[in-house]
Amino acid sequence: MDNSTFRQKLALGSGFFCLLFLDKACDALAIPFYQMTLGVDPFLFSIALTIPIVLSAFLAPWVGQLSDNSTSRFGRRRPFIFVAAWLSAIFFGLMWMVPDHWTTNAQLLYFFIISLLFHTTVTFYTVPLTSLSYEITLDANKRIKVMEINTYFIKLASLSVQWLFPLASLAIFSSVFIGVKVVGWFIAIIVIGLIGMLPAIFVKEEISEHDKAPDKKASIVENIKVISKVPLMKLVFALVFVQVGLAAFAAKMDFYVLVYYMFDGDVAEGAIWKGVLSVGYAATAAIYIPIVSWLSRKFGKFTALKFIFTLTMIGGMGKWFIYTPGVQWLLLLDPIFCAGIWTSMSIIVPALVADASDQFREDKKINRGGGFAAMFHWFIAVSVIFSLLLSGMTLRAIGFDASLGSDQPSDSLQIMKMILSLGTVIPSLAAVVILSRYQKSSQLIN
C-alpha cells in the first residue's frame, strides 16, 4: 500500500499540526494561567496535570486494539480521527472557562475534571492518526519522507504555541481571563476542530491482506506483552524515556529560570522570552528536518541519532552560560545545539516504531499498527507523567513559591539552572551508550 501522494502527505501533516497543539497548548496556557496567575499549588497542579495523562495512557492500548479491529466502511482510523477532533476541541475550549471568583482549590478541581475529559478524547485522536502515518506507505525511505513532512507541520505549530499566553495577555482584552477564553476557543475551533479533522476527510485508507481479518481473540494484555518484547520497541522505549522523561524534565526548568532568574519574577517578560526561545527552537528544528532526514537515509537511523544526541550534550553544557541575566539574546544559541534531537524524535523514532510494526506484520501475518502506535504513545505518556511529577516535586523540594515573585531563594534558582544544564547532558550521554550497545548486539545477532 502506498498512499503517499503529496496531497495525502499534506492532509496527514495537518493532523500532526493539530496534534502538536493537543500535546502542548494545554501546558502553554495552563502553567502561566493556573499556576503563575491564579497561584495554585505547584505540586497539586502537577498532580492535576498528571492524572489525566496517566488514565489516558492506560486507555491507549485499548484504543489501539479498537481501531485495529474496526470494520467501519469509512476505515479503521478515519472515523476515530474525525469524532475525536471535535470532542477534543470542545473540552479544550471549556478548560479556560473557569470563573475568576472561585477559590484556587475549586479552580484546580475544575481544571482537573475538564483536563481528564480532554486527554481521554485526545487519545482517540492520537493513536489512530499515528497508525495512519505508519500505514500510508510501507517503503522505508518514503516513510522517512512522510515523517519529514509531518515534522514540518509539527514545527510550524510549535512556532505559535508558546505565544498563546502572551497573546491572551494583550491589552486589547479587558483582563487575562477574557484573553485566555478568546485564545482558547480560537485554538479549539480552528486548529483542533477544523484542521484536526482534515486527515479523516482527505487521507484514504486501503485494506491489505493482513487487515481483512481482525485479531479479536487477542486480549489487550496479550497485545501489550507481545509488542513490548519486540527488541526494536525496547530501544524506542529507552530513547523515549531518556528524552521525554529525563531531558524534558530538565527543559521544563527553562520557563522558571527565565521568569525568576533572568527577569526577577516578571511573568509577562519571561513569557515573551519563552516565546522567543520557542520560535528559535521551532525555526531551528525546521532547518534540522532535511538534515536529520538525510543523515538517517545516508548513515542509518542509529548513527544519525548518536550524532544528534552528542550535539545535544554540547548544548547542555552551554545552557549554564546562556541562561544569564542581561544577555538574553544568547538564548538563541540554545536551539542551535538542542533543537535537532526533538526533530529526530518526530522523524527517526516514529520511523523505528513503524519498522517494528512492519516486521511484526510480516512475521505474524497480523496488522497491529494501532497497537504499536498505542504502545509508543503510552510510553511517551508514562515519560511525560514522570517528568511532570518530578518537576512538581522538585519545585516544592527546592522551596519555589510563586507568591514570592522575584524573592525566590537564591539556592533554588541555582538548582533550577543546574538541572537545566546537567539534565540535558546526562540523558544525552545515556542515549548514546544505549544506541551503541543496541548496534553492537544487533551486529552480533546478524
Q: Are residues 151 and 54 in the same domain?
A: yes
pLDDT confidence band for 443 (50 / 70 / 90)? low
Q: Which of 342, 340, 371, 341 is nearest to 354 (CA)?
A: 371
- CATH, residue 269: 1.20.1250.20
Q: How many CB atoms lie within 10 A of CB 406?
A: 12
User: Residue range 110-119: average pLDDT?
Assistant: 95
Domain boundary among 179, 206, 233: 206
| Coil, strand or helix at 139 | coil
Residue 212, in any domain of the structure: no
Cβ atoms of 345 and 141 closer than 8 Å: no
User: Residue range 222-239: average pLDDT?
Assistant: 87
Q: Are residues 134 and 253 in the same domain?
A: no
In whole angstroms, what is the distance from residue 159 CA to residue 21 CA?
11
Instruction: Provide the residue range defining the domain that includes 406.
Output: 218-445
Residue 416, in any domain of the structure: yes
Res. 405: pLDDT tops 70: no
| Coil, strand or helix at 100 | coil
In whole angstroms, what is the distance from residue 11 CA to residue 195 CA?
9
Count of the separate structural domains present in the chain: 2
Q: Are residues 381 and 306 in the same domain?
A: yes
Cβ atoms of 347 and 144 closer than 8 Å: yes
Question: Percentage of residues in the chain with pLDDT exceeding 70?
Answer: 93
Residue 445: its pLDDT value, please? 54
Most confident of 48-57, 266-275, 400-409: 48-57
Cβ atoms of 104 and 39 closer than 8 Å: yes
Q: Are residues 184 and 222 in the same domain?
A: no
Cβ atoms of 25 and 92 closer than 8 Å: yes
Domain boundary among 174, 206, 238: 206
Q: Are residues 172 and 226 in the same domain?
A: no
Res. 8: pLDDT tops 90: no
Residue 142: its pLDDT value, please? 79
The pTM of this model reads: 0.77
Domain boundary among 206, 234, 262: 206
User: Residue range 426-440: average pLDDT?
Assistant: 93
Residue 446: its pLDDT value, please? 47
Higher pLDDT, 418 or 175: 418
CB-based contacts of 56: which residues, under 8 Å, 6+ apart? 119, 120, 122, 123, 381
Residue 300, in any domain of the structure: yes
> CA dist 206 to 43, 64, 198, 260, 418, Å?
47, 18, 17, 53, 51
Question: Percentage of residues in the chain with pLDDT exceeding 90?
Answer: 37
Most confident of 199-208, 265-274, 322-331, 342-351: 342-351
Residue 194, in any domain of the structure: yes
- All cell numbers assigned to 151: 515534522
Residue 5: its pLDDT value, please? 78
Q: Are residues 191 and 288 in the same domain?
A: no
User: Residue range 283-292: average pLDDT?
Assistant: 91
Report pLDDT digits (tens) over 340-371: 999 999 899 999 998 888 888 777 767 677 78
Res. 206: pLDDT tops 70: no
Higher pLDDT, 340 or 6: 340
Q: Are residues 254 and 143 in the same domain?
A: no
> CA dist 41 to 48, 103, 360, 401, 446, Å?
10, 12, 46, 8, 53
Q: Are residues 257 and 176 in the same domain?
A: no
| Coil, strand or helix at 215 | coil
Q: What is the mean pLDDT of the chain?
A: 86
What sign results for the dihedral spanned by CA atoms 302, 304, 310, 313? negative
Residue 110: its pLDDT value, please? 94
In whole angstroms, what is the distance from residue 167 CA to residue 185 CA?
13
In whole angstroms, what is the distance from residue 225 CA to residue 306 CA?
28
Q: Are residues 252 and 347 in the same domain?
A: yes
Q: Three-class SS string for 153-175?
A: HHHHHHHHHCCHHHHHCCCCCCC
Res. 3: pLDDT tops 80: no
Residue 229: its pLDDT value, please? 84
In whole angstroms, what is the distance from residue 1 CA to residue 136 CA?
7
User: Residue range 118-145: average pLDDT?
Assistant: 87
Report pLDDT digits (tens) over 177-187: 888 889 999 99
In whole angstroms, what is the distance from residue 417 CA to residue 400 CA?
13
Residue 213, in any domain of the structure: no
Higher pLDDT, 112 or 9: 112
In whole angstroms, what is the distance from residue 84 CA to residue 80 CA?
6
CB-based contacts of 326: which residues, under 8 Å, 6+ apart? none
Q: Are residues 226 and 183 in the same domain?
A: no
Residue 404, in any domain of the structure: yes
Residue 211, in any domain of the structure: no
208 burial level (CB within 10 Å; 0-12, 13-18, 19+): exposed
Q: Are residues 302 and 167 in the same domain?
A: no
Res. 222: pLDDT tops 90: no
Q: Are residues 352 and 244 in the same domain?
A: yes
Residue 163, in any domain of the structure: yes
